[in-house]
Chains A and B, each alone.
Chain A
Amino acid sequence: MPSSQTEPIWIARDFYNCSGCRMCEVVCTLHHEGRIWPEASRIRVFMLIPTLEIPHLCAQCHDYPCVEACPTEPKALSVDDITGAVIVDRELCISCGQCIEACPGDVPFLHPGDNKATICDLCGGDPECVKICQKGKWNALWLAKRSPSINYKLYAENPSKIVKDMAFRLYREKAEELI
């Protein structure tokens, strides 16, 4: 995938492949924050049950409920017309948290530093998390062209729901004791 993006992209994810290494968080925050900062990472790996790690990040829903819910005028949240990423204008954000509530997966968060809404911006079309995950051959994340036949909003999901499904698939009836 070229770094100069000309069409909407999506970070595809396979949770079963996630090693839980959190290299994605390291490179995400080195890129966006200039430092390692787990709770400021735009991609956060949830480990509600050890061994079942779930990278949690924006799915770019077709109807962008977070942007819809943003109450400021003009809106602090907007959509990048090339990549489809949600872009936050930190000057305009009033830290109300309505984007979090509107998101079906509770993906946005208020930054632990400046308390402003924080959402994956797809690194302008060449996401760092994908690069490291591919380089390390983990293949939990990869870059895909957006396809009109997929409802990406389905992937905006709370990890506490995902982890149950994973536990049953991997550990079968034992999962009852783990969730």
Chain B
Amino acid sequence: MGNGYAGKFLEVDLTNEKILETRFDEEVLRQYIGGRALACKILWDRLGAKWETVDPLGPENIFLALTGPMTGFYPGARICISGKSPQSNGIVGSTVGGEFAVELKCAGYDGVIVTGKAKHPVYIFIKDEEVEIRDARHLWGKDGKQTVRLINKEVIAELESERPRKRLWREPGIIYIGPAGENMSRIAAVVQKWTHGAGYGGYGGVMGSKNLKAIVVKGTGPLPDPSDYEKVKELIDKVVEYRLMQDGMRRWGTGSAGYSVGADLSSEPIRNWQEEWHDRKEYGVDEFERKVWLKRYWGDYGCPTTCLKVASVLRGPLKGAITDNPDYELQAYLGTNLGIFEPEDNVYLASISDDLGFCGIQLGNVLGFAAELYQRGILTKEDLGFELKWGDTKAFGRLAEMIARREGIGDILAEGTYRAALKIEKMKGVDVLKYAVHVKGIAVGAHGIRSGLDYPPLIAYACNVQGGDHTSVSGLSPEEGGGELSWGFMDSAVICGFNTIRPYEIIWEFFRAVTGWNTTMEDWNTTMGPRMLAIQRAVLLIGGPDVRWDPRVDDDNPPRFYEPLPSGPKAGQAADREEVQRKKKEWFNSLGWDELGIPTSETLKKLGLEDVDRALDPIRERYGVS
């Protein structure tokens, strides 16, 4: 029997139009699972020595779409997207749900490694062993829904021309970018199925920089063999049984949080995080359910939870918008963060974000940032071309379009909140970085830390190797399935964090049944996980070429989190600077990193990362630590 891997990776060099197969030794796959951990290995091996000079949006960057050994077996399929991030200039493992991952494995590949840059827009087409780089000039400029429509039409027509005819062909799996990615916005996502985005990291822009519109795959084989299919079947049943009992998550997804996280936890971004509490019952999940949900359950391959809901606006001036729930993150970022508390308006903006191919979190963050600058008179009607008042849905939609096309001020905002702030500071000569709610170039997810009532700890983002990522947060114990080590594993294996089971150890039992390896959760938490985090931390410290993070300054919360909450039951509360410093040291220490968060030589040698250790010497020198 096998180990859950197909055994080979597809490597496509777009500059030289070369297609190769790459294999990794089983020991490499064992030490770097993945998914995210394997992405770290590939990127470090190939780009580590010149990391500082690699432009994330240049042809020398590598775009990765990697499944993990558990993908397809563990209920609910996702794929991990990675590369050098144009947001953090480090490595982000950004996963996205959909059938693409299963199609890819059934075609016989564990992942796709894309290098170089195509001469003109292309898409990569994979049908089992047959792989082609195809012209995509006719798809360039098309929004998400049109991209899916056109690719489905042409690929199905072609599959149907097969003779003798063997079947009615269905659609392929597709990952693609919208106009935002094409125009190399740093806040563009890699998208599947209209609404699912690998958002954190900004890899939509990386695809755009390579002239890569989409990767399209149809696999007709079975999933590769796991080690023990009987055990895997048993465990699938177990996970499915457990998930089917999770009524709240099944019935409402994260869509109940748009009201509750604000009203009950005081940790929801409102008007660019100026507030985190609201009691707007018209934004309750019951209203979403009645007004906009067309489907009660929507999910990806093999998912028992089906936490997504299909939503549409069927009347009035916003009519024609279609998206999923929206989920909590987008209810917050394309709702409350913009002063919007109407389900239909939220669906409208989420639909625009989907169509243009944005990460809804990064987009909502930069729109909120721009609106706060407008509120403060720093950005004016002249700068924008129109007024940008809180709650003005159409204006935000219009600005999103401008960002995707890089028109006017949109060209600056397309760089994401942090880089836009740097440019606007220069332009206006005033400090606007204090309004930028990001960590290391990545907008912070919609779970604040000031109230102390929500799950992210004080250092959730400050120390996070994935910046503002709200899933893989720092400071939580991995034993119960939280924090960077657990999410790092889930992003490596690759499974969905919304399909977990308790006790969490069952997921490891599942992993062993698939791989046949005797790896334990402890092995991961003490060796493979820390090794992955050490590489992510190292490349973040090296950074470049356009940004360099200073751990003395940048391993911190956005300034806003130190302002007292102005409203709600937790009014007056803010993050405590001393407590943050104390927790930070504890966290770094737990990983064998020094006080500045530089992994020590001893730690790196123990993890077998001697070359990473050497590469960090100049960093140590820079900050005067030995």
A21 touches B168 (CB 8 A): no
Is A126's CB within 8 Å of the partner chain B? no
How distant is the Cα of A160 from the Cα of B103 in the complex, in angstroms?
20
Contact with A along B220-242 (1 / 0, CB 8 A): 11110100010001001000100
How distant is the Cα of A35 from the Cα of B73 in the complex, in angstroms?
10
Find chain B residues with CB under 8 A from A46 CB. 170-171
Among the listed A95, A106, A170, A171, which residue makes an inter-chain contact with B168, where contact means beta carbons less than 8 Å apart?
A: A106
Find chain B residues with CB under 8 A from A48 CB. 152, 156, 170-171
Contact with B along A50-79 (1 / 0, CB 8 A): 110000100000000000000000000000
Find chain B residues with CB under 8 A from A170 CB. 294, 312
For B164, the closest partner residue in chain A by CB is A97
List the one stretch of A2-10, A108-116, A143-151 in contact with chain B. A108-116
Smallest distance from the beta carbon of A73 to chain B beta carbons, Å?
20
Given A21-B300, A47-B170, A138 and B306 touching (CB < 8 A)? yes
Among the listed B148, B164, B233, B294, which residue makes an inter-chain contact with A50, where contact means beta carbons less than 8 Å apart?
A: B148
Find chain A residues with CB under 8 A from B99 CB. 22, 38, 47
Given A21-B299, A23-B240, A37 and B106 touching (CB < 8 A)? yes
Find chain A residues with CB under 8 A from B233 CB. 30
Given A50-B193, A100-B167, A21 and B312 touching (CB < 8 A)? no
Is A89's CB within 8 Å of the partner chain B? no
Contact with A along B296-309 (1 / 0, CB 8 A): 01111111101000
Among the listed B166, B240, B303, which residue makes an inter-chain contact with A115, where contact means beta carbons less than 8 Å apart?
A: B166
B222 touches A40 (CB 8 A): yes
Smallest distance from the beta carbon of B577 to chain A beta carbons, Å?
46
Smallest distance from the beta carbon of A55 to chain B beta carbons, Å?
11
A110 touches B166 (CB 8 A): yes
B225 touches A35 (CB 8 A): yes
A109 touches B168 (CB 8 A): yes
For A47, the closest partner residue in chain B by CB is B171
Find chain B residues with CB under 8 A from A40 CB. 222
How distant is the Cα of A81 from the Cα of B614 in the complex, in angstroms?
74
Among the listed A39, A47, A136, which residue makes an inter-chain contact with B304, where contact means beta carbons less than 8 Å apart?
A: A136
A35 touches B149 (CB 8 A): no
For B102, the closest partner residue in chain A by CB is A38
Docked complex: A88-105 residues within 8 A CB-CB of B: 95-97, 100-101
Smallest distance from the beta carbon of A149 to chain B beta carbons, Å?
29
Given A38-B102, A38-B106, A50 and B195 touching (CB < 8 A)? yes
Find chain A residues with CB under 8 A from B72 CB. 36
For A30, the closest partner residue in chain B by CB is B233
Smallest distance from the beta carbon of A15 to chain B beta carbons, Å?
11
How distant is the Cα of A174 from the Cα of B312 in the complex, in angstroms?
10
How distant is the Cα of A158 from the Cα of B167 in the complex, in angstroms?
12
Is B145's CB within 8 Å of the partner chain A? yes
Smallest distance from the beta carbon of B586 to chain A beta carbons, Å?
41
Is B20's CB within 8 Å of the partner chain A? no
Find chain B residues with CB under 8 A from A20 CB. 298-300, 306
For B312, the closest partner residue in chain A by CB is A171
Among the listed B168, B171, B229, B295, which residue makes an inter-chain contact with A35, where contact means beta carbons less than 8 Å apart?
A: B229
Find chain A residues with CB under 8 A from B306 CB. 19-21, 136, 138
Find chain A residues with CB under 8 A from B194 CB. 50-51
A100 touches B222 (CB 8 A): no
Chain A interface residue count, Cβ-Cβ cutoff 8 angstroms: 54
Residue with the greatest number of chain B CB neighbours at <10 A, chosen from A95, A135, A171: A171
Find chain A residues with CB under 8 A from B167 CB. 39, 100, 106, 109-110
B304 touches A33 (CB 8 A): no
Find chain B residues with CB under 8 A from A29 CB. 222
Is A153's CB within 8 Å of the partner chain B? no
How distant is the Cα of A178 from the Cα of B321 in the complex, in angstroms?
12
Find chain A residues with CB under 8 A from B229 CB. 34-35
A51 touches B298 (CB 8 A): yes
For B323, the closest partner residue in chain A by CB is A51
How distant is the Cα of A39 from the Cα of B159 in the complex, in angstroms?
13
For B192, the closest partner residue in chain A by CB is A50
Given A26-B236, A30-B233, A21 and B222 touching (CB < 8 A)? no
Find chain A residues with CB under 8 A from B168 CB. 56, 100, 106-107, 109, 158-159
A23 touches B302 (CB 8 A): yes
Find chain A residues with CB under 8 A from B170 CB. 44-48, 56, 159
Given A37-B223, A39-B220, A112-B220, A19 and B299 touching (CB < 8 A)? yes
Docked complex: B255-298 residues within 8 A CB-CB of A: 294-295, 297-298
Among the listed B171, B297, B319, which residue makes an inter-chain contact with A19, where contact means beta carbons less than 8 Å apart?
A: B297
How distant is the Cα of A178 from the Cα of B225 in the complex, in angstroms?
37
Docked complex: B102-125 residues within 8 A CB-CB of A: 102-103, 106
A171 touches B322 (CB 8 A): yes
Find chain A residues with CB under 8 A from B304 CB. 21, 23, 136
Find chain A residues with CB under 8 A from B310 CB. 51
Is B219's CB within 8 Å of the partner chain A? yes
Among the listed A21, A101, A113, which residue makes an inter-chain contact with B297, where contact means beta carbons less than 8 Å apart?
A: A21
A109 touches B166 (CB 8 A): yes
How distant is the Cα of A39 from the Cα of B434 in the complex, in angstroms?
53
Is B244's CB within 8 Å of the partner chain A? yes
Among the listed B165, B222, B244, B300, which residue makes an inter-chain contact with A37, where contact means beta carbons less than 8 Å apart?
A: B222
B294 touches A178 (CB 8 A): no
Find chain A residues with CB under 8 A from B559 CB. none
For B305, the closest partner residue in chain A by CB is A21
How distant is the Cα of A46 from the Cα of B171 in the complex, in angstroms?
7
Given A48-B152, A49-B149, A100-B168, A21 and B303 touching (CB < 8 A)? yes
Smallest distance from the beta carbon of B384 to chain A beta carbons, Å?
29
How distant is the Cα of A109 from the Cα of B166 in the complex, in angstroms?
6
For B156, the closest partner residue in chain A by CB is A48
Smallest distance from the beta carbon of B578 to chain A beta carbons, Å?
48
Pull 24 A–B residue pairs with CB atoms less than 8 Å apart, ordered by A.
A21-B306, A23-B304, A25-B301, A30-B236, A34-B229, A36-B222, A36-B302, A37-B106, A38-B99, A47-B193, A48-B156, A51-B310, A97-B166, A100-B166, A107-B168, A110-B167, A113-B222, A158-B168, A171-B320, A174-B312, A174-B319, A177-B145, A178-B145, A179-B149
Interface residues of A (CB under 8 A from B): 16, 19-23, 25-26, 29-30, 33-40, 44-51, 56, 95-97, 100-101, 106-107, 109-110, 112-113, 115, 132, 135-138, 158-159, 170-174, 177-179
Interface residues of B (CB under 8 A from A): 72-73, 75, 99, 102-103, 106, 145-146, 148-149, 152, 156, 164-168, 170-171, 193-195, 219-223, 225, 229, 233, 236, 240, 244, 294-295, 297-304, 306, 310, 312, 314, 319-320, 322
Which 9 A-B pairs rank lowest in CB-CB distance, beginning with the nearest? Answer: A109-B167, A37-B222, A106-B168, A19-B297, A112-B220, A110-B166, A50-B193, A19-B306, A21-B299
